[in-house]
């Protein structure tokens, strides 16, 4: 009888262990599929799904399949605390990936810090600056405001710029970036001649562009979200920013998205703006990824080129994969310790993090659009349509100035 | 920022153009909400639908404004169908129709938004026309042609609706149903049919407003959320149901936003514009042109 009891317990343990082994590792994310960040979010989610397919084809992680649970945050920061609470308490996910972008990520930072959870950042900017969560790891190629803006300001100063104008959206990301850029500009001896914040519901930017023209700056640093970026480019092409402006751009989100680039076409010429990856940068494995992505993107009706977010989202998967397989653990503290102490090889190059969870070695390409034609999406696959001005390791050319000349205006 | 007379003049000029655009996107609502008292919160969503239809026709080479005009009969039929459904399921059933109707139109707005996402995706869409991306040079001033076109269409639309409502038999019947529905019924007219017709006109006009929306800037499926506050503000400020009032209210909002942007900063623009709305309503609760 006694032996029978022990056998029953042993079988029970065996079965429950087997059942656990068959349960998938759940990874949760709230990511914009609609709203202003939806275009980027859809492409990013496709890349994450590609990683899940790839890792499951290799047998999963720790002998378990990987399952991705994704909810649409509608580009709305008000939705993300609810989504992440559901992911944790109802869906019982094992790991979390942050929403795409600074604004939707900011509200969940206190939640993950309180619960002591690992959070893989997803292209947000300085969102951990005040929270100081030590289990945060951003996939973005930037660190603080210096890493983002120094390229633009350095290029400008090299060509003799002494004054600068700022326009920035009244949003967490844009304000963080603009404030950082203003400080750096001040330290660099640049004089600010115009600054304007605008609400996200702004319909037309003609008045702002006219005011910039009147202020006669040498550089214009713009911190905008996708819808605003398009409206600003359009207004600039109609009104012109004046002959004094040497560089225009800097922090315009949206000009990296293929549908926006295709629609704006030649209006993009001359703009100097940040990017994450452009053709010409050599990372091992990225070309294979982009070829596979391009096929899936057509079916999924998302960004057909996928240079901006998708490789970096695939990299999130690679980072988690290497941390889990090396440590053989899903313990969030163990994984965080590993990531703080190791450099991870990804399709967007090797990534390591500083104590704040941002890139230890930032690499933000500052590019200038050149010779872009209208209605031609394929042109962007060639190197040279986005000439890399900074950083030196990626540099492929010098800026064409002033901006009005570079854009072919008057 | 230092005061500049030239910049002020330009701010007023841009304000007039922007204000006319605001009036144009609100004028359909002025009929449906202002005259018919239908809580039509799906108005901006239908306008965005009009923008996407314009986008489709523009891909075949049709000018956006011509496309908007071509879409008006289709949207008229859509409006008639929407009102009939709303009447049969909500309005006919009594006094709580307003609140439940609000839920109906919110639902309609969500369905349109989700439908657009499923068909077109979430990316921004734009149209092409000779007047987009170019500007009119007036001395030192450069005025985007797309805003001039919006200005012209807004003026024509306001004039056409004002004449229609005051000079034609059905137009006067629409005004009558807004003023005293039971009296109209006693005279043997069918107010439901008149309201149905009026809602069709409001929706038809919204198609043209949608065409203007995509002329002025790129659209994406959730853009209706940006316009919901502005369009209702214009209609309420105007005084419910006044077409010329809608134009005047649009101009007030546009000019005040533009001047505030120039002098105090863009962040203050919506606050001042809506503050102005509160002040006007405090002095004249019926709106500027309401009776």
Which sequence spans correspond to the domains of chain A? 2-143+284-351, 157-281+366-406
Q: Do B133 and A237 touch (CB under 8 A)?
A: yes
pTM attached to this predicted model:
0.81
pLDDT(B6) > 80: no
Assign residue A391 a region (left: φ > 0; alpha: ψ between -120 and 50; beta: otherwise): beta
pLDDT in tens, B69-95: 999 999 999 999 999 999 888 888 775
| Closest Cα in chain B, distance from residue A296 (Å) | 15
Q: Kindly give, in sequence order, each residue whose CB lies less than 8 Å from that of residue A153, ignoring residues fewer than 6 positions away.
A: A164, A181, A184, A185, A188, A190, A219
According to the model, what pLDDT value does residue A60 have?
96
- The answer to whether the A2-143+284-351 and A157-281+366-406 domains have the same CATH topology is yes
Structure tokens at A138: 């951003």
Q: Give B264 or A218, the one with higher predicted confidence.
A: A218
Report the alpha-carbon distance of residue B239 to residue B242 in Å, rounded: 6
Q: Which of B6, B261, B270 sits opposite A201 (nearest CB)?
A: B270
pLDDT at B100 over 90: no
User: What pLDDT shows up at residue A410?
Assistant: 40
In this complex, the residue of A196, A231, A238 whose CB is nearest that of residue B265 is: A196
Q: Compare B271 and A90 and report the one with higher pLDDT.
A: A90
B38-55, pLDDT tens digit by residue? 889 999 999 999 999 999
Look over chain B and give the mean of its residue pLDDT values, rounded to a whole number: 88
Q: What is the pLDDT of residue B67?
A: 97
Higher pLDDT, B185 or A25: A25
Confirm or reject contact between A304 and chain B (CB < 8 A).
no
B123: closest chain A residue by CA: A39
Residue A3 is predicted with a pLDDT of 60
Residue A298, chain B, CB below 8 Å: the answer is: no
Q: What is the sign of the dihedral through the CA atoms of B154, B156, B160 and B162? A: positive
pLDDT of residue A90: 97
Question: Do A80 and A98 form a contact (C-beta atoms < 8 A)?
Answer: no
Please report which confidence band the pLDDT of residue B142 belongs to, taking 50, 70 and 90 as the band edges.
Answer: confident
- Predicted confidence at residue B89, as pLDDT, reads 85
**CATH superfamily, domain at A2-143+284-351:** Response regulator (3.40.50.2300)
What lies within 8 Å, CB to CB, of B140 at 6+ separation is B6
Closest CA to B40 of B101, B81, B113: B101
Cα distance between residue A342 and residue A321, in whole Å: 13
Alpha helices (runs of H) in A197-257, residue ranges in sequence order: 206-215, 226-239
Residues of A in contact with B218 (CB under 8 A): 227, 230-231, 263
Domain ranges across chain B: 25-226
ipTM of the complex: 0.77
Nearest to B11 among A35, A207, A231 (CB): A207
Answer yes or no: is pLDDT of B186 > 90.
no
pLDDT at position A59 is 95
**Residue B96 confidence (pLDDT):** 61
- Superfamily name and number for A157-281+366-406: Response regulator (3.40.50.2300)
Structure tokens at B108: 């309609």
Please give the order of strands across the beta sheet that includes A119-121.
Answer: A66-71, A25-30, A95-97, A119-121, A136-138
Residues of B with CB under 8 A from a CB of A: 1, 4, 6-7, 10-11, 14, 18, 21, 113, 117, 121-126, 132-135, 142-147, 216-218, 220-223, 226, 229-230, 258, 261-262, 265-267, 269-270
Q: Residue-wise pLDDT tens for chain A (410 aa)?
A: 456 666 566 655 555 555 555 799 999 999 999 877 888 899 999 999 999 999 999 999 999 999 999 999 988 899 999 999 999 999 999 999 999 999 999 999 999 999 999 999 999 988 998 999 999 999 999 988 888 888 999 999 999 999 999 999 988 788 988 988 999 999 989 999 999 999 887 888 888 898 899 899 999 999 998 889 999 999 999 888 999 999 999 999 889 988 889 889 999 999 999 999 999 999 999 999 999 999 999 988 888 999 999 999 999 999 999 999 999 999 999 999 999 999 999 999 999 999 999 999 999 999 999 999 998 999 999 989 999 999 999 999 999 999 988 987 44
**What is d(CA B182, CA B165) in angstroms, rounded to the nearest whole number?**
20
Name the CA radius of gyration of chain A, rounded: 23
CB-nearest partner of B133 from A39, A208, A267: A267
Closest approach of B117 to chain A, Cα-based (Å): 7
């Amino acid at each position: 009888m006694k032996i029978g009891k022990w056998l029953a317990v042993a079988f029970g343990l065996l079965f429950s262990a087997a059942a656990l082994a068959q349960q998938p590792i759940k990874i949760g994310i709230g990511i914009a599929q609609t709203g202003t960040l939806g275009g980027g979010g859809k492409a990013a989610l496709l890349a994450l799904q590609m990683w899940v397919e790839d890792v499951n084809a290799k047998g999963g992680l720790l002998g378990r399949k990987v399952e991705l649970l994704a909810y649409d945050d509608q580009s709305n920061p008000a939705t993300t605390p609810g989504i992440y609470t559901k992911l944790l308490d109802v869906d019982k996910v094992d790991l979390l990936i942050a929403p795409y972008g600074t604004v939707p990520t900011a509200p969940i930072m206190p939640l993950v810090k309180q619960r002591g959870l690992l959070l893989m950042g997803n292209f947000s900017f300085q969102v951990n600056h005040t929270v100081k969560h030590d289990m945060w790891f951003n996939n973005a190629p930037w660190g603080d405001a210096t890493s983002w803006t120094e390229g633009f300001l350095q290029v400008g100063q090299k060509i003799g710029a002494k004054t600068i104008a700022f326009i920035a959206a009244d949003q967490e990301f844009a304000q963080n970036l603009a404030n950082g850029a203003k400080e750096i500009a001040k330290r660099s001896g640049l004089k600010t001649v115009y600054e304007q914040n605008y609400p996200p519901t702004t319909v037309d930017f003609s008045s702002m562009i006219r005011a910039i023209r009147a202020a006669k700056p040498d550089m214009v640093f713009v911190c905008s979200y996708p819808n605003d970026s398009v409206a600003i480019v359009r207004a600039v092409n109609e009104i012109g920013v004046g002959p004094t402006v040497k560089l225009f751009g800097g922090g315009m989100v949206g000009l990296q998205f293929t549908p926006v680039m295709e629609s704006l076409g030649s209006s993009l010429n001359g703009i100097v703006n940040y990017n994450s990856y452009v053709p010409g940068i050599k990372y091992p494995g990225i070309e294979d990824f982009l070829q596979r992505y391009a096929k899936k993107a057509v079916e999924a009706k998302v960004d057909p080129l996928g240079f901006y977010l998708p490789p970096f989202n695939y990299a999130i998967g690679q980072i988690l994969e290497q941390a889990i397989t090396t440590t053989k653990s899903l313990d969030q503290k163990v994984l965080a310790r590993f990531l703080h102490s190791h450099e991870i090889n990804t399709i967007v190059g090797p990534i390591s993090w500083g104590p704040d969870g941002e890139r230890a070695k930032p690499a933000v390409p500052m590019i200038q659009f050149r010779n872009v034609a209208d209605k031609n999406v394929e042109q962007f696959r060639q190197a040279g349509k986005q000439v890399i001005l900074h950083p030196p390791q990626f540099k492929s050319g010098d800026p064409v100035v002033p901006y009005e000349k570079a854009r072919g205006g008057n | 920022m230092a005061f500049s007379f030239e910049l002020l003049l330009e701010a007023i000029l841009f304000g007039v153009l922007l204000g006319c655009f605001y009036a144009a996107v609100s004028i359909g609502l002025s009929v449906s909400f202002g005259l018919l008292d239908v809580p039509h919160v799906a108005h901006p969503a239908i306008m965005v639908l009009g923008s996407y239809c314009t986008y489709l026709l523009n891909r075949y080479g049709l000018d956006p404004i011509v496309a908007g005009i071509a879409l008006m009969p289709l949207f008229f039929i859509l409006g008639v169908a929407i009102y009939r459904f709303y009447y049969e399921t909500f309005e006919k059933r009594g006094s709580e129709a307003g609140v439940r109707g609000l839920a109906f139109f919110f639902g309609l707005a969500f369905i349109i938004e989700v439908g657009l996402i499923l068909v077109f995706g979430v990316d921004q869409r734009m149209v092409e026309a000779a007047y987009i991306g170019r500007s009119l040079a007036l001395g030192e001033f450069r005025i985007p042609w797309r805003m001039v076109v919006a200005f012209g269409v807004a003026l024509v639309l306001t004039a056409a609706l004002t004449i229609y409502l005051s000079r034609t038999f059905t137009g006067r019947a629409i005004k009558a149903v807004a003023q005293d529905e039971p009296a109209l019924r006693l005279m043997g007219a069918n107010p439901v049919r008149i309201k149905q017709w009026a809602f069709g006109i409001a929706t038809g006009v919204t198609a043209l407003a949608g065409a203007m929306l995509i002329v002025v800037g790129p659209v994406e499926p959730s853009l209706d959320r940006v316009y919901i506050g502005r369009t209702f503000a214009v209609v309420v400020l105007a005084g419910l149901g006044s077409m010329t009032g809608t134009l005047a209210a649009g101009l007030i909002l546009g000019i005040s936003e533009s001047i505030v942007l120039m002098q105090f900063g863009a962040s203050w623009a919506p606050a001042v514009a809506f503050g102005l709305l509160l002040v006007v309503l405090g002095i004249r609760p019926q709106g500027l042109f309401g009776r």
